[in-house]
Amino acid sequence: MTGKGFKRLLGAALLGGSLLAGVQAFAASLVVGDQSFNARTVMEAAGVLADLPYELEWKQFTAGSPVAEALNVGSLDVGLLGDAPPLFLGALGAPIKVIGISQQNREGVAILVRKDSPIRRLEDIRGHSAAIWKGSWSQQLLFTALERAGVSPEQVQLRYLGALDASHALEGGSVDVIATWEPYVTQQELQGARVLATAEELIPAQTFVVATDKAIAAKRELLGDFLRRLRQARDWVLSDPANSERYADTWAELTRADREVARRWFARAAIRVRPVDEAAIAEAQKTVDFFSRIGLIKGYPAASLFDASFNAYLQSPAAQAAR
């Protein structure tokens, strides 16, 4: 083969390689575990997915535990869920890492009673029935609040119900108290239920963005880009009340939920996506210690579950430009 012929062949090979790389980059995908279309709706409403150079495959769940299970078996690359399920998996050495924090207003996690209930203070729960979900914010909130009030969980008739069933049970009068989260807090408030306590100053009630070790190794740039776009979408909601309403209306239509509930929930939630920091890890340790103390998991250093290397993707545009 002549020198010119070799150069032409090499050029064709390089061109083919670059085209193949482009196709592979375009064909790349991220499998995302979402809950009830929440993250998908806000990202689409904010328009942050318009120029996405890879595919997002959304998988929808109704609760955090199945998201955690899917992450554990590797059927997701990344998922969004409350802190307890991934912290439970961390105690088992699961191949996952927390790469971002999604913090909402803690008033959306609350202990409620019916409007006509004789229960006026946390101390009054003694001897009454309360519905919680084991290994969740609701259990952590109720037990922590009762401890502050000098009431032992053994002095309460506990019923273990999912959030939807607990809400129905309160309405029907089969339980006196529920500890729950959104949108059930807002739904109950609109029906006249009274709040006895919220997670504020009681429990962390953090939400995590969790990725598998496999995805971190193979799809780091995609994960970082997704995290950046998620932050942009949440910032968009906070930038204008009209944006929050648009997000709520879109979500309500998609899920066939009550629009007023959605509007009140999202306006109050004020969700922000932020980097992994020492404060978040310290709060996570409190949750690990709580569930360890009541015998649900074995205690361990929560810091081992966090990966702060994605923090760069959550920096401001000016900070990123300076890097």
Cβ contacts of residue 56 below 8 Å, gap of 6+? 29, 30, 32, 49, 226
> What is the per-residue pLDDT for 316?
59
Helix, strand counts (H, E) of the chain = 13, 11
Comparing 39-48, 77-86, 250-259, 311-320, the range with the smallest average pLDDT is: 311-320
> What is the per-residue pLDDT for 62?
87
Residue 317: pLDDT band by 50, 70, 90 thresholds?
low
Tell me: pLDDT of 192 over 50: yes
What are the tens digits of pLDDT across the range 101-148?
999 999 999 999 999 999 999 999 999 999 999 999 999 999 999 999
What is the sign of the dihedral through the CA atoms of 217, 321, 275 and 226? negative
User: Once rounded to an integer, what is the mean pLDDT over residues 175-202?
Assistant: 95
User: Once rounded to an integer, what is the mean pLDDT over residues 78-107?
Assistant: 95
Distance CA 212, CA 90 (A): 12
Tell me: pLDDT of 21 over 80: no
CATH 3.40.190.10 region(s) of the chain? Answer: 31-102+205-322, 107-198
> What is the per-residue pLDDT for 12?
36
User: Once rounded to an integer, what is the mean pLDDT over residues 255-281?
Assistant: 94
Helix (H, G, I), strand (E, B) or coil at 110: strand
Average pLDDT score, the chain: 89
Comparing 26-35, 101-110, 116-125, 314-323, the range with the smallest average pLDDT is: 314-323
> What is the per-residue pLDDT for 310?
97
> What is the per-residue pLDDT for 63?
87
User: In percent, how much of the chain has pLDDT > 90?
Assistant: 85
Give, for 174, the enclosing helix (H) or strand (E). Answer: none
The neighbouring-strand residues paired with 103 are 272
More confident residue, 218 or 316: 218
Report the greatest alpha carbon distance in the chain. Answer: 95
Domain 107-198 has CATH 3.30.1490.20: no
User: Once rounded to an integer, what is the mean pLDDT over residues 58-65?
Assistant: 92
Tell me: pLDDT of 2 over 80: no
Tell me: pLDDT of 23 over 90: no
More confident residue, 14 or 218: 218
For the chain, the distance separating the N- and C-terminal CA atoms, rounded to the nearest angstrom, is 47
> What is the per-residue pLDDT for 11?
38
Q: 31-102+205-322, what's its fold? A: D-Maltodextrin-Binding Protein; domain 2 (3.40.190)
